[in-house]
Amino acid sequence: MAGELDDVRFLTVAEVAEMMRVSNMTVYRMVKAGDLPAIRFGRSYRIPESAVAAMIRLGDAQVG
């Protein structure tokens, strides 16, 4: 199992918001709605970078 997590990179809410050019609150809403998977560590969330990339690709597909 540790080998599976070696390739996973987690981002903070602020990093995701910056990448997607949205507010932190928008990212929190996407997490709460289940649109963006996240892991909670204490009071903060970490989002897998692969999930953000997939959401951005999905958004590109819906626009075009």
What local confidence, expressed as pLDDT, does residue 43 receive?
A: 94
d(CA 55, CA 44): 21
Tens digit of each residue's pLDDT (9 = 90 or more) over 4-49: 667 889 999 999 999 999 999 999 999 999 999 999 999 999 999 9
- Enter the pTM of the model: 0.80
- List the domain boundaries for the chain: 17-63
Q: Residue 8 contacts by C-beta under 8 Å, 6 or more apart in sequence?
A: 48, 49, 50
d(CA 58, CA 19): 15
Res 3 pLDDT > 80: no
What local confidence, expressed as pLDDT, does residue 7 receive?
A: 82
What local confidence, expressed as pLDDT, does residue 63 receive?
A: 46
